[in-house]
Amino acid sequence: DTAVSQTPKYLVTQMGNDKSIKCEQNLGHDTMYWYKQDSKKFLKIMFSYNNKELIINETVPNRFSPKSPDKAHLNLHINSLELGDSAVYFCASGTDMSNTEAFFGQGTRLTVV
């Protein structure tokens, strides 16, 4: 019973390609996030969605486009991949308002070559 699942776990692709990472949560949470972890292990928020609506967009290039078909899913689509996009991307979900829970997916290690 994986609470937050994201696929794929590993993604290797060439520069210029378009790729998607999928995320699903079965916790009934209203809020979902995408975080990027860089090579120095620093975790930085990219987007948050609350009930399918975009709440936070933290100065992310518009090549990154999140899509939330319903509140249990938040997918990340990346166009025209660049070498600097190589990182680990984490999906997370949390409770609304009280924010007492926040669980992460297993991460997707993206390598752009």
**Residues binding another protein (CB under 8 A):** 31, 33, 35, 40-45, 48, 50, 55-56, 58, 88, 90, 92, 94, 96-104, 106-107, 109
CB atoms under 10 Å from CB of 66, counted, come to 21
We find the least distance from the C-beta atom of residue 16 to another protein, in angstroms, to be: 26
- Contacts (Cβ under 8 Å, ≥6 apart) of 112: 13, 14, 15, 81, 82, 83, 84, 85, 86
We find the least distance from the C-beta atom of residue 56 to another protein, in angstroms, to be: 6
Compute the distance between CA of residue 89 and CA of residue 43 in angstroms, rounded to an integer: 9
Question: Which C-beta is closer to another protein: that of 15 or that of 54?
Answer: 54
Question: Which C-beta is closer to another protein: that of 35 or that of 75?
Answer: 35
We find the least distance from the C-beta atom of residue 13 to another protein, in angstroms, to be: 19
Angle, CA 60 vertex, CA 76 and CA 71 arms, to 5°: 40
